[in-house]
């Protein structure tokens, strides 16, 4: 921790163990070892190409999705445009989801259903570590759309947009039953943290997930929209597989999911998560997170009320990001203009979305701001992106700029 002026700066350098394994081989072709002008020209062209799409790849915005389309044309367009052609294999998908996406901010994973939190040791294999040898305090991977219902193989199995960490006993209770609203009197088990109750909790019922064994499962209130958007995503992208496994499963829960999507709209945390996943999945976010009207237009015609998609702002221009020098070698300064005071988080990412370093300022003052940047010595010559996030209690701004990294 570095104290400077009136703020505290926390500097991180995180490279998850498993992500190093697959990212290292993937980035080796991008490693810059200049030996002549031809190598420099190729690298410069790569950088220019990256500049042209980096903003669309890493910009974290809500956005309208095919607003003029409806019916089968809308469904086909969404599936064609947002279904990733490339996803990680299942082992790497889980490790990446845990270490590089969900635990990227605080090294902590939380059970989607019970809220149980488990610290993730960044030096260990993520999936094995949180499993805790299968104990009741361990966690494994929950498929919002169950494996037995169409997510058992291929891209459908490892698509991170519908995967969540879940405490093992809670995951077992969900099994492959549909989501539903369960009357309290019919609930057989209640889950919160490490607790399991067989009777109605005395307080804070909304913080508990509920199970009706072998029949249905109801997540806690704060994540109902999250799982609804995950299911809508899966069924839109992998409908043929889902219907082949069970043609009735989606419709059993469709109306309930529509209500949950409307009652619990996507927030900034879900938006950041879907764009982080997109960096590993062909640049494709979950469109049901981007556009709050999409669920109604695709699957929920019964909904009579609608929402407004927040206006998309040119956030790079708002923050006026400037990196000096660029190419960056060793150290430099990231200059920006902050429209409000708040928590500032800056991440350095490879082209494949691997986090190379992170800097955090707990209380960054509004106005002109300069952040010292110092690269970890282990970083090789490559093209990367600097991602900036500024947040307070009611606002979130994100922006990114490309960068050339040199030793």
Q: The domain spanning residue 18 has which CATH number?
A: 2.60.40.1930
If residue 93 lies in a helix (H) or strand (E), which one and from where to where?
helix 90-96
Name the more confident of 322 and 126: 126
Does 222 lie in the same domain as 129? yes
Does 99 lie in the same domain as 180? yes
Q: How far apart are CA 295 and CA 301, in angstroms?
A: 9
**Strand ranges of the sheet holding 189-192, from the earlier edge strand across to the other edge:** 195-197, 189-192, 209-212, 216-218
Q: Which stretch, 64-78, 318-332, 365-379, has highest mean pLDDT?
A: 64-78
Name the more confident of 168 and 317: 168
- 3-class secondary-structure state, position 204: coil
Is the residue at 307 inside a domain? no
Is the residue at 303 inside a domain? no
Does 133 lie in the same domain as 110? yes
Mean of pLDDT over the chain: 83
**Counting beta carbons within 10 angstroms of the beta carbon of residue 351, is it exposed (0 to 12), middle (13 to 18) or buried (19 or more)?**
buried
Does 377 lie in the same domain as 235? no
Residue located via tokens 């249905």: 216
Name the DSSP letter for residue 179: B
Q: How does residue 356 score in pLDDT terms, banded at 50, 70 and 90? A: confident
Beta bridge partners of 403: 384
Report the pLDDT averaged over residues 375-380. Answer: 79
pLDDT digits 0-9 by tens, 281-317: 988 999 999 999 999 999 999 988 777 766 544 444 5
Residue 16 has pLDDT above 80, yes or no: no
- Of 251, 271, 298, the position where a domain reaches its end is 298
Does 342 lie in the same domain as 218? no
Is the residue at 372 inside a domain? yes
Does 335 lie in the same domain as 374? yes
**Residue 217 in contact with residue 177, Cβ under 8 Å?**
yes
Phi, psi of 101 (to 5 degrees): -120, -60
CA neighbours closer than 13 Å in the CB half-sphere of residue 34: 12
Is the residue at 64 inside a domain? no
For residue 177, give both structure tokens: 């039953």
Query: Residue 176: is the preceding peptide bond cis (ω within 30°)?
Result: no
Residue 268 has pLDDT above 80, yes or no: no
- Of 298, 329, 345, the position where a domain reaches its end is 298
Does 87 lie in the same domain as 52? no
Is the residue at 257 inside a domain? yes
Share of the chain above pLDDT 90, in %: 60
Q: How far apart are CA 92 and CA 126, in angstroms?
A: 10
Is the residue at 381 inside a domain? yes
pLDDT score of 272 = 84
Does 351 lie in the same domain as 207? no
CA neighbor of 179 nearest in space, from 211, 139, 222: 211
Does 226 lie in the same domain as 148? yes
**Residue 346 in contact with residue 360, Cβ under 8 Å?**
yes
Residue located via tokens 């994540």: 223
Q: How far apart are CA 80 and CA 194, in angstroms?
A: 41
pLDDT score of 317 = 53
Give the range of the structural domain holding residue 11, as residue numbers without chain letter: 2-59+313-406
Does 234 lie in the same domain as 177? yes
pLDDT score of 46 = 42
pLDDT score of 352 = 62
Is the residue at 66 inside a domain? no
Report the pLDDT averaged over residues 24-37. Answer: 32
Q: Count the neighbouring beta carbons within 10 Å of the beta carbon of residue 79.
A: 16
Q: Which stretch, 290-304, 322-336, 339-353, has highest mean pLDDT?
A: 290-304
Is the residue at 305 inside a domain? no
pLDDT score of 104 = 83
pLDDT score of 2 = 28
Does 217 lie in the same domain as 178? yes
Number of domains in the chain: 2
Report the pLDDT averaged over residues 172-189. Answer: 98
- Of 298, 330, 363, the position where a domain reaches its end is 298
pLDDT score of 90 = 98
pLDDT score of 407 = 66
Residue 371 has pLDDT above 90, yes or no: yes
Does 75 lie in the same domain as 209? yes
Name the more confident of 329 and 51: 329
pLDDT score of 242 = 99
Q: How does residue 47 score in pLDDT terms, banded at 50, 70 and 90? A: very low
Residue 237 has pLDDT above 60, yes or no: yes
pLDDT score of 17 = 35
Q: How far is CA 22 from the centre of its chain?
A: 19
């Amino acid at each position: 921790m570095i104290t400077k002026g009136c703020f505290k700066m926390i500097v991180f350098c995180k490279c998850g163990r498993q992500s190093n394994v697959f990212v290292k081989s993937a980035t080796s072709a991008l490693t810059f070892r200049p030996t002549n002008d031809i190598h420099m020209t190729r690298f410069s062209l790569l950088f220019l190409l990256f500049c042209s799409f980096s903003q669309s790849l890493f910009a974290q915005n809500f956005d309208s999705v095919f607003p003029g389309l409806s019916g089968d044309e809308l469904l086909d367009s969404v599936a064609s445009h947002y279904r990733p052609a490339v996803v990680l294999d299942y082992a790497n998908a889980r490790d990446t989801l845990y270490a590089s996406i969900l635990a990227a901010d605080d090294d902590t994973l939380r059970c989607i259903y019970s809220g149980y939190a488990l610290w993730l040791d960044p030096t260990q294999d993520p999936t094995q570590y949180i499993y805790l040898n299968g104990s009741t305090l361990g966690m494994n991977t929950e498929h919002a759309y169950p494996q037995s219902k169409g997510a058992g193989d291929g891209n459908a199995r490892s698509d991170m947009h519908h995967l969540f960490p879940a405490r093992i006993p809670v995951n077992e209770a969900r099994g492959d039953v549909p989501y539903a609203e369960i009357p309290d009197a019919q609930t057989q088990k209640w889950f919160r943290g490490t607790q399991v109750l067989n009777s109605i909790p005395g307080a804070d019922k909304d913080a508990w997930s509920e199970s009706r064994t072998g029949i249905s499962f109801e997540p806690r209130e704060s994540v109902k929209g999250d799982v609804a958007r995950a299911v809508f995503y899966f069924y839109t992208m992998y409908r043929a597989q889902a219907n082949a496994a069970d043609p009735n499963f989606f419709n059993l829960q469709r109306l309930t999911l529509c209500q949950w999507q409307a009652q619990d709209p996507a927030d900034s945390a879900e938006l950041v998560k879907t764009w982080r996943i997109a960096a590993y999945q062909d640049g494709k976010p979950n469109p049901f997170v981007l556009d709050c009207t999409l669920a109604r237009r695709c699957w929920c015609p019964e909904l009579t009320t609608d929402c407004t998609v927040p206006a998309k702002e040119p956030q790079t221009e708002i923050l006026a990001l400037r990196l000096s020098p660029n190419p960056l070698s060793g150290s430099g300064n990231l200059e920006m203009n902050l429209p409000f005071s708040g928590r500032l988080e800056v991440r350095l990412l490879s082209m494949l979305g691997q986090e190379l370093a992170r800097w955090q300022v707990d209380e960054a003052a509004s106005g002109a701001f300069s952040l010292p940047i110092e690269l970890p010595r282990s970083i090789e010559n490559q093209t990367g992106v600097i991602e900036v996030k500024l947040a307070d209690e009611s606002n979130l701004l994100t922006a990114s700029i490309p960068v050339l990294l040199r030793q």
